[in-house]
Structure 1
Amino acid sequence: MKFHLSLLLIASFLTACASKPVEKPALRGYDAELTNYQYPFPVKYYSFRAQEQDLKMAYMDMSRMGDAGKVIVLLHGKNFSGEYYEDLAHRLMTIGYRVIMIDQIGFGKSTKPKNFQYTFQALALYTNNLLDSIGVKNYQLLGHSMGGMLATRMALMYPEKISKLFLIDPIGLEDWKTMTAYHSIDQYYQAELNSNPERVKKYQLESYYDNNWKPEYDRYIKAMTGWMEGPDYPLIAWNAALTYDMVFTQPVFYEFKLLKMPTVLVVGTRDKTALGKAWAPEGVKEKMGNYPQMGKTVAKMIPKSKLITLKGLGHLPFIEAPDMFWKNLEKELQ
């Protein structure tokens, strides 16, 4: 009897174990397309095929007054995605704008292809096609940092669609390849693989915020540091390396003179951003990334330009001093 009872107890234990689902270990960080990372507004996708592969671009399309007559498109910088425009988007919507924030291929929630030929022309084409797909034919265009280079390329390719151009601390106000040595995609890739969350924060602290970190800045490194802890970081690093090469080798500097629309160039006096500065020769390094001087030079090149200089601000004026930035931007909007 005892023997049979023991068998019944063992069988019951095994049945309970078998019926209990095996718990999978929780994944750390974020996947390549930030599946579990919450954006501030609903995300939509534009799907298309290019370079023999299926791609999708994430974007946020927001307005508060139904079909707003005024449209502005916001293009992000290299170390960010469209979500960092949240505060600016709210301000724009308050005065009646339809605001479209787009993650470029290789960034944010958009596709991170393994094999891809990155050019500003291609990104401009895909962005234009996305806008066509949602019926946007005329708009104002704002680009920050790398987004400023892309916005310039778009303005050169589609001048009839862009009524006004805003370049916010854009990179590309000088041609770095005439000032510093070329680093290969493989070198950039290794540098990205060797990075870590602490280095990301240190870079932004020193380069963007004048060594004055505020708790509200944490959100702007959350996606990048989450990628570093996630399963797809090698793919993220590879796309970052490919886009570094695009930025370094495809200057827009020589074409500012061809811009046809009114253009507002905004620069912070503290901004010193320059690609390749770290390995530039002494005597040249100190001259790179001089935004107050570059702003004056480029403003003279652009036929219908206005230069706004923000005293004491760095590379991210709409995050570092949103009220001051908005005060200067709002009066220039059409």
Structure 2
Amino acid sequence: MKKLSLGVGLFFLSFTAANAQSDTLRPLDMNLEAYTYPFAVDYLEFESQGEKLRMAYMDVRPARANGKTVMLLHGKNFNGAYWEETARALADRGFRVVIPDQIGFGKSTKPAHYQYSFHDLAANTKRVLDKLGVTKVAVLGHSMGGMVATRFTLMYPETVGKLILENPIGLEDYKEKVPFQPVDKWYMGELKSDFNSIKNYQLNSYYDGKWKDSYTKWVNLLAGWTLGKDYPRIAWNSALTYDMIYTQPVCYEFGQIKAPTLLIIGQRDRSAVGKNLAPENVRKTLGNYPELGKQTKARIPNSELVELDDIGHLPHIEDFGRFITPLIRFLERQ
């Protein structure tokens, strides 16, 4: 675990090293062992589906604790490292912050054989909290992490005090509009990924064609894998999680959520899994986040909606100030 009362010099050195490793495209090993995260990483070892697994997580302790814990759940194209700025801001306000890498992502195990489900990911995540002795938590999920957070909240209502969904995918049932694609086809598509294809996707899907140099490190974390010898295993796990997202909607259960919920929705977002597979006339109707945000607020009892104009899929990366203000306000409200 890492306390934020460390000296400025140590922070500067680690920050500089992290930037240096992120800004250069280089081959990355399957579990990112050569890549340094912004906080110390611990591991939970357990067995699931006959596989011995290691689940990485960061446990960020504030210098002055307020007694509350926030858990941050990453999206499909990311890992826990992209929560750095959010974690530091929350710790500065006294929150303990737990940041897991889901199985199949980041520094966690990429199994050779695993039947992915949001139920299993939620159960794995609960194991981390149990190990840490955390019995009450506010859960923030971004993108795919929003679907994990929703399932976690439904499975463990006694554990979740508050739920925050930041531009989550799964606000609509993709099966209704997107043709089915077998896992093998998802896999073949993933094998074709490289730096240019990943950057172009993020440029157009996340940032409305406006690129900043600070975004490059998030491309490199994915593109670096494509240069490594283990990329077929990584691509296979990615294909399996695409299938999980497509076949396991959570939107029909929003009405069962009991925790106070905050929706933070970038209004420019048009993300939808499998969008390119749909006919053009249908594609235009997918990922309509301005409408989906309103619909989801109406479905979730005791929820509120913050709409961020001219922000896309990544509010906490694209405009941190506009993201963190409503988040802190919601978390600190009694």
Q: Tell me whether 65-74 or 293-302 shows the greater mean CA deviation.
A: 65-74
1:45 corresponds in structure 2 to: 43
Query: What is the TM-score when the length of structure 2 is the normalising length?
Result: 0.90
1:313 match: secondary structure: coil
Q: Could you tell me which residue of structure 1 aligns to residue 80 of structure 2?
A: 82
Query: Could you tell me which residue of structure 2 aligns to residue 176 of structure 1?
Result: 174
Tell me which residue corresponds to 1:241.
239
Q: CA deviation at 1:283?
A: 2.3
In 2, the alpha carbon distance for the partners of 1:243 and 1:279 equals: 17
Moved over 6 A (4+): none
Find the aligned partners of 2:303 and 2:330 in 1 and give their Cα distance: 11
Q: Deviations over 1:101-121 (max 9, x none)?
A: 100000000000010000000
The match for 1:256 among 247, 250, 254 is 254
Q: Determine which of 55, 58, 65 is the counterpart of 2:56.
A: 58
After TM superposition, the score normalised by the length of structure 1 is 0.90
Matches of 2:130 and 2:64, distance apart in 1: 19
> Which structure 2 residues correspond to residues 221-240 of structure 1 after superposition, within 5 A?
221-240=219-238
**Residue number in structure 1 paired with 2:216:** 218
Residue matched to 2:155: 157
Count of paired positions: 307
Aligned to 2:130: 132
Structure 2, unaligned stretches of length 5 or more?
Answer: 1-25
User: Radius of gyration: which is bigger?
Assistant: 1
C-alpha deviations, 1:170-194, integer Å up to 9, x for none?
0000001011101110000000001
User: RMSD of aligned C-alpha atoms?
Assistant: 1.0
Q: Is the 8 A contact 2:193 2:223 kept in 1?
A: no
Identity level (%):
50
Q: Which amino acid aligns with 2:114?
A: F
Deviations 1:88-139 (A, max 9, x none): 0010000001001100000000000010000000010010011101101101
Query: Are the aligned partners of 2:80 and 2:100 in contact in 1 as well (CA < 8 Å)?
Result: yes
Partners of 1:147 and 1:227 lie apart in 2 by 21
Q: 2:310 aligns with which of 286, 297, 312?
A: 312
Aligned equivalent of 2:289, options 266, 269, 291: 291
- Rounded to whole Å, the distance in 1 between the matches of 2:27 and 2:240 is 23
Q: Aligned with 1:309: secondary structure?
A: strand
2: distance between equivalents of 1:144 and 1:225? 21
Say if 2:257 and 2:300, in contact at 8 Å, map to a contact too.
yes
Give the match for residue 115 of structure 1: 113
Match of 2:146 among 148, 153, 162: 148
- Deviation (angstroms), 1:67: 5.6
Q: Deviations over 1:123-176 (max 9, x none)?
A: 100100111011011010000000000000000000011000000000000001
Structure 2 distance, partners of 1:125, 1:51, is 13
Is 2:64–2:94's contact at 8 Å kept on the other side of the alignment? no
Please tell me whether the aligned partners of residues 65 and 95 of structure 2 are also in contact (alpha carbons under 8 angstroms).
no
CA contact (8 A) 1:196 1:228 kept: yes
Q: Which of 324, 327, 330 in structure 2 is aligned with 1:329?
A: 327
SS in structure 1 of the partner of residue 280 of structure 2: coil
2:203 to 202, 205, 224: 205
CA distance in 2, matches of 1:236, 1:119: 17
Specify every segment of 5 or more residues in structure 1 that has no aligned partner in the other structure, as ranges.
1-27
Retained in 1: the 8 A contact 2:146–2:169? yes
3-state SS of 1:287 partner:
coil
Paired amino acid for 2:170: G
Structure 2 counterpart SS, 1:332 = helix
Alpha-carbon shift at residue 66 of structure 1 (Å): 6.0
- Specify the SS of the correspondent of 1:44: strand
Residue 22 of structure 2 corresponds to none
Rounded to whole Å, the distance in 1 between the matches of 2:53 and 2:43 is 10
- Return the offset for 1:282: 3.1
Does structure 2 conserve the Cα–Cα contact (< 8 Å) formed by 1:37 and 1:223? no
Q: Give the secondary structure class of the aligned counterpart of 1:331.
A: helix
- Measured against aligned partners, the alpha-carbon deviations of 1:221-250 in whole angstroms (never above 9, x if no partner) come to 222111111111001100000000000000
1:35-62: CA deviation from partner (whole Å, max 9, x where unpaired): 1011111100000011111101000000
By how many angstroms is 1:68 displaced? 4.9
